[in-house]
Structure 1
Amino acid sequence: MGTGLTGPASADAVLRLAATVTAADGVAPLNEQSLLAVRHGTGGHRHRWLAEGEELLAYAVVDPEGSGELCVHPGHRRRGLGRHLLDTVLDDAPAVALWAHGDLPGAQGLARAAGLRVTRELWQMARDLTPAAGTAPAGQPTGVEVRTFVVGQDEDAWVALNALAFADHPEQGRLTVADLRQRQAEPWFDPSLLWLAHEAGRPDALLASMWVKPDGDDAEIYALGVAPRAQGRGLGGHLTALALDEMRRRGFRRTTLYVEGDNTAAIRTYRRAGYDRSSLDVQYAR
Structure 2
Amino acid sequence: MGRVSTSGPDVDVPAVLALLRAATAADGVRPLSEDAELRLQHRSPGGADLVERADDGTPVGYARLDDGVAELVVHPDHRRRGHGTALLRRVLDAAGRGPVDIWAHGDLPGSAELLAAHGFARARVLLQMRRDLAGVDPDPRPALAEGVTVSAFRPGRDEEAWLGVNAHAFDWHPEQGRTTRADLELREAEPWFDPEGFLLAWRGEPDDGGELLGFHWTKVHPPGDAGPEPVGEIYVLGVDPGAQGLGLGRALTDLGLAHLRGRGLAEVLLYVEEDNEAAVRLYEARGFRRSAVDVAWRRPERP
2:274 match: 261
**Counterparts of 2:80 and 2:9, CA distance in 1:** 25
**Counterparts of 2:8 and 2:40, CA distance in 1:** 8
1:123 match: 127
Q: Which amino acid aligns with 2:51?
A: W
1:143 is displaced (CA, Å) by 2.2
1:60 match: 63
1:17 match: 19
2:49 match: 47
1:92 match: 94
2:211 match: 205
- After TM superposition, list the pairs within 5 Å mapping 1:59-208 onto structure 2: 59-64=62-67, 66-93=68-95, 94=97, 95-130=99-134, 132-134=135-137, 136-203=140-207, 204-208=210-214
**Counterparts of 2:144 and 2:264, CA distance in 1:** 24
* Aligned-partner SS, 2:172: coil
2:286 match: 273
Contact 1:51 1:58 in 2 (8 A): yes
Q: Which amino acid aligns with 1:97?
A: D
1:4 is displaced (CA, Å) by 0.5
Q: Is it true that 1:252 corresponds to 2:254 in the alignment?
A: no
Contact 2:136 2:258 in 1 (8 A): no
* Aligned-partner SS, 2:77: helix
2:35 match: 33
Q: Which amino acid aligns with 1:82?
A: G
Q: Which amino acid aligns with 1:168?
A: W
Contact 1:137 1:245 in 2 (8 A): no
Percent identity of equivalent pairs: 46
1:5 is displaced (CA, Å) by 4.0
Alignment partner for residue 230 of structure 1, among 217, 235, 243? 243
Alignment partner for residue 2 of structure 1, among 2, 5, 13? 5
1:83 is displaced (CA, Å) by 0.9
* Aligned-partner SS, 1:267: helix
Task: Give the TM-score, by structure 1 length.
Answer: 0.95
- Residue by residue, what CA displacement relative to the aligned partner does 1:235-266 show, whole Å, maximum 9, x if unpaired? 11111111112222221101111100111121
The 3 A distance-change label for structure 1 pair 50 and 202 is: closer
Contact 1:161 1:208 in 2 (8 A): yes
The runs of 4+ residues in structure 1 deviating greater than 4 Å are: none
**Counterparts of 1:5 and 1:11, CA distance in 2:** 11
* Aligned-partner SS, 1:271: helix
- Residue by residue, what CA displacement relative to the aligned partner does 1:55-112 show, whole Å, maximum 9, x if unpaired? 0011110123x21100001111111110111012112214220000000011111112
**Counterparts of 2:133 and 2:262, CA distance in 1:** 10
* Aligned-partner SS, 1:43: coil
RMSD over aligned CA atoms reads 1.3
2:254 match: 241
How many residues get paired? 283
Q: Where does structure 2 lack aligned partners over 5 or more consecutive residues?
A: 223-229
Contact 1:5 1:11 in 2 (8 A): no
Q: Where does structure 1 lack aligned partners over 5 or more consecutive residues?
A: none
